[in-house]
Chains A and B, each alone.
Chain A
Amino acid sequence: MKYSYYPGCSLESGAVEYDLSSREVLRLLGVELAEIPDWTCCGASAVEPVSSLLTLALPARNLALAEREVPDADMLVPCSACYLNHLRVERECGADRKLAARVNEALSAEGLSRSGTVRVRHLLDVLFRDVGPERVGQAVVRRLEGLTAAPYYGCQVLRPYPLFDDPERPASMTPLLKALGVEVLDWDMGGRCCGASLMATKRDAALALVSAILDAASGADLIVTVCPMCQMNLEAYQKEAIRSGGRGRPVSVLYLPQLMGLALGLSEDDVLLGKNLAVTDTLLGKLRAPEAAEV
């Protein structure tokens, strides 16, 4: 299995632990990645309020590079906002040839052109459908027994294009987590919005959403995420959200491949656990307990 890889800007800085643990876990699962050379920002969630053409042209530039540099491979994207921005080009330009031509006219400024041969795939989609829980289970060397996780999917990984899971009540993380030996919290907040960039522009509105998610995760040892924006909102603003009226208590928040990496034999340092902003002593104690059995 080979994919072109688009890390996106946040995986170079605020979400460096997501980048490294994704690369390591995929390597352990026999997945080959070729990072797209010269990739640039996809516009994140800020481009659509500024320019409709740029909303498609920015990700289209990366898709054109992927086509040229890593042909015949799907493009794997761990960040949900990056994923949706690139997927929108595939969907909207695929349905409208005039629009596709307009986007290519913009790309001509760089001597690039996109023909639409690259499929865009989220990391979770690849883990769930291409690798599969069975193969993950076979690669586990240390079952994470005694942990309960609240799988948090966020919005843009399944909306508006639910390609691999139910966008109202997503469940694709459940078999993957169970393959690690982790118990899964039965909750209905997995697909709720974390506030996204409202945390920068309308803090109170975003804090209310984060509060509700943290409250609902009270029964879990950790929340597991697949998006740098969700991760940041849930971990960095946790204290503020709890202070602002949430009834929740501090809860650890880890990226899915970080947790997978620990079960696949990587150390806490290997998955950069020290970079996370919300890791409780309770979780560390459970992770380090001898009963987290070697297989």
Chain B
Amino acid sequence: MNQRSEAVSLPAAVTIAADAAALAEIQDMVRACMQCGTCSASCPNAPAMDHTPRSLWRMLLLGLVDEVLESRTFWLCSACYSCTLRCPRGLPLTAAMAALKRLAASDGRSADRKRGLFYEDFMRNVEKNGRVRETELMLHYFLDMRDPLLPLEYTPLGLKLLRKGKLHLGGSGQLGRLGPLFAKVREMEARP
């Protein structure tokens, strides 16, 4: 999971082996794909993708791993499960998209890392506070993205929510509550 955390620092060889296993697992998820294109036709975000979901599965099975991981297709999955629901082969396509996000984030290339930062920051926030504290989450996200214009995009919403008294400014009663569970999961996922 979270590669930047202090709790786990794995030798490169172990990471590569884990990535190879993760890749094989994703390939298995779409092995029975018959290229009918129902997923692409059902996907609300397909117009914004560089490869359609159907193409992505084919590329994955052809072993075009670099091309797949460089694609922005899986980052554009909003987990609506339309493809999963309609796939005539019953393949877990939404889960495969999420698995690709995990693989690309652990792969560590800078462009991909930035795309996964929101999710990582979100989970760091949960680990620390037990419940989401969105003000702190967005602050960390802005800092990590290093894009000075990004906070401006969110200012109108932030002000709206602040005016309505809908933002948490204080801490959480569940502070640190999830520490042991996160540590245990990290330990279990680092096992070879």
Q: Are B78 and A41 in contact, CB atoms less than 8 angstroms apart?
A: no
Q: Are A40 and B131 in contact, CB atoms less than 8 angstroms apart?
A: yes
- B-side contacts of A205, CB under 8 Å: 45, 48, 76, 78
Q: Are A202 and B48 in contact, CB atoms less than 8 angstroms apart?
A: yes
Closest Cβ neighbor of A196 among chain B residues: B78
Chain B, interface residues (CB within 8 Å), range: 35 or more
- A-side contacts of B105, CB under 8 Å: 49-50
- A-side contacts of B134, CB under 8 Å: 13-14
A156 interfacial contact with B, CB 8 Å: yes
Query: A175–B118 Cα gap in the complex (Å)?
Result: 39
Give A172-216 interface residues, CB cut-off 8 Å to B. Answer: 192-193, 195-198, 200-206, 208-209
Q: Are A159 and B82 in contact, CB atoms less than 8 angstroms apart?
A: yes
Given contacts A159-B85, A195-B45, A274-B164, could you give 18 more A-B pairs where the C-beta distance is less than 8 Å?
Answer: A10-B132, A13-B167, A14-B167, A38-B174, A38-B177, A40-B131, A45-B79, A53-B1, A57-B181, A58-B126, A106-B184, A159-B81, A160-B85, A193-B44, A193-B80, A198-B76, A201-B115, A205-B78
Give A28-63 interface residues, CB cut-off 8 Å to B. Answer: 38, 40-41, 43-54, 57-58, 61
Chain B residues within CB distance 8 Å of chain A: 1-2, 44-45, 47-48, 75-76, 78-82, 84-85, 94-95, 98-99, 101-102, 105, 115-116, 118-120, 122-123, 126, 130-132, 134, 141, 153, 157, 160-161, 164-168, 174, 177-178, 180-185, 188-189
A-B contacts at CB below 8 angstroms, number:
167
Q: Within the complex, which residue of A47, A193, A236 is in contact with B160, where a contact is CB–CB below 8 Å?
A: A236
A51-B189, A102-B188, A193-B44 known; A198 vs B2 contact (CB < 8 Å): no
A9 interfacial contact with B, CB 8 Å: yes
Query: A168–B42 Cα gap in the complex (Å)?
Result: 11
Query: A274–B164 Cα gap in the complex (Å)?
Result: 8
